[in-house]
Amino acid sequence: MATTKTPARNNQWIGLVLILITGTVIIFYYGQQVTFVIDEWQLIQSRTTPSVSSLLDPFNNHLMAIPIGFTQIFYHIFGISSHFPYRALQLIVHLGAATVLFVYLKQRTAYWVALSVTAVFVLYGYTAAILIWPISLGWTLAVLGGISALLLLDRRSPTADLAASAALLVCVASTSVGIAFVIGVAVELIAARHWRRLWVVGVPLASYLIWYATFSDSNTKTSSLSATLRFAQELLAQTIGTLLGVQARGVAADATLVVVVVGLGFAWLRLGKPHSARLLGIAATLVTMVGALAVGRASSGLTSWFSYAVGVVLIILVIELFSHSRPPSQFIQVLIVIIALWAIIWNVGQLNNEAKRFREISETEKTQLAVLASIETQVPNSFMPGPFLQTLTAGRYKQVVIDFGTPAFSVTEAKQAKKIARSNGDETLVRGLNVRPLAGAAETLGIPVAKIAVRGGTISEVSGCTQIANQSEPATATLKNPSLAVTVEPVDGKATIYAGILSPGSQFIGELNAGERALIKAPAVPSLGQWTLKIVATGNVRICSASQ
């Protein structure tokens, strides 16, 4: 049966280069405006200085010595004002992994199949958390090291074996998932009866076991057997479904998993039940990787980036299964190219969606850091500015700015941010300055509150205070001032109170019932602007000026 023509040897790299360039442009485009998010701030908070502890202490239960080491070097070279160098490093390693994957595949299958599958991996947008989030550097390094080790083992020379051992050491020192590649290589060498080559896995395996015994957190939560098996099934369905551009969850993903597993099982039988050492080793890698993730992560939930490494192993397993059969026909090659094109389109859409979420988080963080800079002298060093900034504290942030700069917005940029980011900035502001209704007596000045506007009600002066009366619906009183010092007392009904500067009156700060009186104070923050206090009243509410 006819097969598609393979480009001349010198031209076989042109397709890969074009794919790598396309991937670079697309991934950088969607990653723009992304800054350090979530887990990256844990490193900035406590692991910017190289030390045994900072490199070897578990990070999310993983050994991540090499990626943390790279990150620490980048802190001292580039600072943290720009996220670009970190994303560039992540992308370079990802493209390196794609390159060695292509080399591996084209030695075992038709050129166009190898190129198409590699293109899907380059633009595997479902794992956007790997492609544009440098905290995932360990995953890309582990995949790069794992595939490189397989290629080096094929050379069967002492020098190549030494390099393969080093590549496996990179695997386990980048993320604990890398141990699956070590187990897989060990199974391959045992199956091939290459007893004298077992030293290749000796150093990385011993290194990991020593680390695990010395540094690993033994309190890792495990789940029930049923939850673990369900996690493994969902991980495989998610990975296969997204590699094919079908779906990550639901009936379609589960059906795709069943079809693929049954199809591969049937192919294995038709091909004479192949059991090469490499096939057994890759199967062991897959079982170990999925099993380890299921046991260790079933209790915390399935995430998209797990599919990055699992997907690579699945690809290699499938190609290895067919590597000793006849080359795929022209029809099969064309079909694979079409499926790959669809999978790429689908995954670029996923990359767009996930990158948008990262940009929104980044905008919120930059706004919250701008607020923190404006109130840093008014908050304790232990204050944490926001959940996306993880464990970062105000005191640590001051030193970080001195040492490495900051990705924070300027005040002008913060004021121009999207509403959700400005609202989150106000959350940091209100929480940091402890703006809330304070129960108890407060000295009033006997002066009506100035600069107050009312919607849905009437305004009058009563006993030197401003009284708001609602009409057919709750009245909203809005007060703007550089600082706040007022008492609020619902005469009847209820008063719900909001405050803010960047997104005026966006933050709920409390609720008062009839007869309750509270003082609301907020210091001036000249760099940000004036406060807006919003009171929504279901009855009459009295607002009085109070002493500062």
Mean pLDDT of the residues in the chain = 90
pLDDT band per the 50, 70, 90 thresholds, residue 6: low
Q: Which domain holds residue 138?
A: 13-358
7, part of any domain: no
H/E element holding 356?
A: helix 330-375
Distance of CA 455 to the CA centre of its chain: 43
336, part of any domain: yes
4, part of any domain: no
In the numeric block, the tokens 């790429």 are attached to 344
pLDDT digits (tens, 9 = 90+) for 475-522: 888 888 888 888 888 888 888 999 999 998 889 999 999 888 888 989
| Whether 389 and 511 share a structural domain | no
- Tell me, what's the pLDDT at 297? 80
| Whether 199 and 271 share a structural domain | yes
Q: Is the pLDDT of residue 141 over 90?
A: yes
> Which one of 227-231, 335-339, 512-516 scores highest in mean pLDDT?
335-339
5, part of any domain: no
**What CA–CA distance (Å, rounded) separates 437 from 512?**
8
| Whether 352 and 230 share a structural domain | yes
Which residues share a beta bridge with 484?
522
Report the pLDDT averaged over residues 103-112: 94
Planar angle of CA 161, 166, 168, nearest 5 degrees: 95
8, part of any domain: no
Read off the CATH number of the domain in which 469 is found: 2.60.120.430
Please name which of 482, 476, 487, 542 lies closest in space to residue 518, comparing C-alpha atoms.
487
**What CA–CA distance (Å, rounded) separates 64 from 349?**
30
Please name which of 175, 188, 192 lies closest in space to residue 282, comparing C-alpha atoms.
188
246 Cβ contact list (under 8 Å, min separation 6): 252, 253, 256, 346
Report the pLDDT averaged over residues 213-242: 85
Q: Residue 366: what are its φ and ψ, rounded to 5°?
A: -60, -35
| Whether 365 and 425 share a structural domain | yes
Count of other CB atoms within 10 angstroms of residue 311: 21
| Whether 452 and 384 share a structural domain | no
| Whether 116 and 132 share a structural domain | yes
Are residues 176 and 61 in contact, defined by beta-carbon separation less than 8 angstroms? Answer: yes
| Whether 301 and 448 share a structural domain | no
Q: Is the pLDDT of residue 302 over 70?
A: yes
Are residues 63 and 208 in contact, defined by beta-carbon separation less than 8 angstroms? Answer: yes
Please provide the DSSP assignment of 293-326 as one string. Answer: HHHHHTTT---TTHHHHHHHHHHHHHHHHHTTSP
359 Cβ contact list (under 8 Å, min separation 6): 33, 34
- Tell me, what's the pLDDT at 447? 62
In the numeric block, the tokens 């496996």 are attached to 168
| Whether 156 and 119 share a structural domain | yes
In the numeric block, the tokens 């209100």 are attached to 430
Report the pLDDT averaged over residues 216-227: 74
Phi-psi region of 448 (alpha: psi -120 to 50; beta: other; left: phi over 0): beta
Higher-confidence position of 119 and 446: 119
Among 342, 358, 374, the domain-final residue is 358
| Whether 374 and 478 share a structural domain | no
2, part of any domain: no
What total number of domains does the chain contain?
A: 3
pLDDT band per the 50, 70, 90 thresholds, residue 102: very high
Tell me the three state secondary structure of residue 532.
strand
Are residues 370 and 408 in contact, defined by beta-carbon separation less than 8 angstroms? Answer: yes
Q: Is the pLDDT of residue 4 over 80?
A: no
Instruction: State the pairing for strand pair 494-500/507-513.
Output: antiparallel
Percent pLDDT > 90 in the chain is 67
Among 358, 373, 396, the domain-final residue is 358
- Tell me, what's the pLDDT at 1? 40
354, part of any domain: yes
- Tell me, what's the pLDDT at 206? 95
**What CA–CA distance (Å, rounded) separates 134 from 36?**
8
Which CA distances in Å does 149 have to 69, 152, 279, 392, 435? 22, 5, 15, 38, 58
- Tell me, what's the pLDDT at 477? 86
Segment among 50-54, 100-104, 341-345 with least mean pLDDT: 50-54
Planar angle of CA 442, 447, 453, nearest 5 degrees: 100
| Whether 129 and 104 share a structural domain | yes
Higher-confidence position of 492 and 8: 492
pTM of the model: 0.90
| Whether 208 and 286 share a structural domain | yes
23, part of any domain: yes
Burial class (CB in 10 A: 0-12, 13-18, 19+), 422: buried
- Tell me, what's the pLDDT at 200? 95
Segment among 212-221, 266-275, 304-313, 418-427 with least mean pLDDT: 212-221
197: number of CA atoms within 13 Å, CB side?
Answer: 25
Are residues 440 and 489 in contact, defined by beta-carbon separation less than 8 angstroms? Answer: no
| Whether 346 and 264 share a structural domain | yes
Are residues 271 and 325 in contact, defined by beta-carbon separation less than 8 angstroms? Answer: yes
Planar angle of CA 323, 319, 273, nearest 5 degrees: 60
- Tell me, what's the pLDDT at 466? 85
Please name which of 163, 162, 158 lies closest in space to residue 100, comparing C-alpha atoms.
163
Kindly report the length of the chain.
548
Q: Residue 545: what are its φ and ψ, rounded to 5°?
A: -70, 140
In the numeric block, the tokens 């890969």 are attached to 16
**What CA–CA distance (Å, rounded) separates 4 from 497?**
71
- Tell me, what's the pLDDT at 481? 87
Q: Is the pLDDT of residue 173 over 90?
A: yes
Among 432, 458, 488, the domain-final residue is 432
